[in-house]
Structure 1
Amino acid sequence: MGKEFLVSKENKPSYECMITAETCLGLAGMTTEDWLRDHHCRTGIIFTAFAIEAMFIFYRKQVDTNYNKKQREDRKTMHKNTLMLCGINNYIGTRPYQIVKECLDVRDAIAHGDSYTSTFNFLAGDLNKQDDITRRVIAVNSEQFRGLTIERLRKYIEMAKHIDYEISDKGYRPFESDLPIDERRKLILAFGVSGVSMWPSS
């Protein structure tokens, strides 16, 4: 039997969720089956939203050592405060942030499980049999799942990574605000590296 030893692993959900989202994007691009592409796009968008939330928590912990995520604040306030602590103001209204907000809204619409009635126009075309019409109508997704395309998944991933780079590049720790810009240490990328793993040498 092989040697067993204890490994200490720093968990970094922002990185792992983004890897999952990017894998889904790759798989969605390779498949030729619509149902499988839909599955990968939905999964990828949800994991992109998880990655975005984890990214803001990751940056908050870098700039606020007393941060406690159990202390509830609404998402917009948490994101705004995190960005301000990183030295980045007036970002909530920017196009990149609005795109990742859209991704978070998609996740919320799915995750909160709200039941409601939506409508859509159905073109029966040359379908004459009631069974055929029934199958086609039932196959139409609920409103929350419509339009979750590979293009949207790609856009959400690109904008999340864009924001990650912007925060890392332009952000700084509050106690370094008096230092010249070139002397401030960059914040660690949320999506750039995995957590540290440590184990005893053999």
Structure 2
Amino acid sequence: MEKVPPNSIKLILASKSRDRKKLFDRAQIPVDIIPSDFDEKSIHEWDPKELVKKIAIAKAKKVMLKWNGNLENRNKPAIIIAADTMVLLDGNLIGKAQNKEQAFKILTQLSGKKHELLTGVAIIHSVSQKISVFLDISIVQFQILTPSEIQQYLDATDEYIGRAGAYSLYDRASLFIDFVEGSPTNVLGLPMAKLRKELQFFGVYI
């Protein structure tokens, strides 16, 4: 397949995640943002690994429809990248905190334990509708946190908002993490090294 320079085809990130956008910015990869606004609760799947993949696919397809539905974009190719990340602790899924009280409860659960970060990623070509889906898993070890340390963290920053597990690896919560096994960028919501390789199947080399 002929190589396509990354700036010759639109890369669309189907997410309003602050961390995912930062990953592209830090790597100096141009990307447009079109949030999917997909209702994640509408998908029912008992297997967490399949759940994150199915949600990522649904997000990618919804943004593809948005892109193709704009007359200005008709027959204009774009690569749409969507992802869904969830925390798995002792076999139980932990989502995003809706408020400080929920964030406090989540961080109390994570304190002193290892947990898994599951990220499902879907890539779709807006014209051919070729799709690629993959899963990445990272393991994070949290230090033991006292209730006062958790409360101080939540009072000092709003980084828990919109993030799986109510924390951000590269922000203040980095003080609480002993180690990460696997892709560190996966903990931020997108395994960039794996994404780079998958994009090559679409002729995009970044």
Q: Provide the TM-score with structure 1 as the length reference.
A: 0.27
Question: Which is richer in helix?
Answer: 1
Q: Which has the higher contact order (CA 8 A, sep 6+)?
A: 1
Q: Provide the TM-score with structure 2 as the length reference.
A: 0.26
Question: Which is richer in strand?
Answer: 2
For the pair shown, the structure with the greater C-alpha radius of gyration is 1
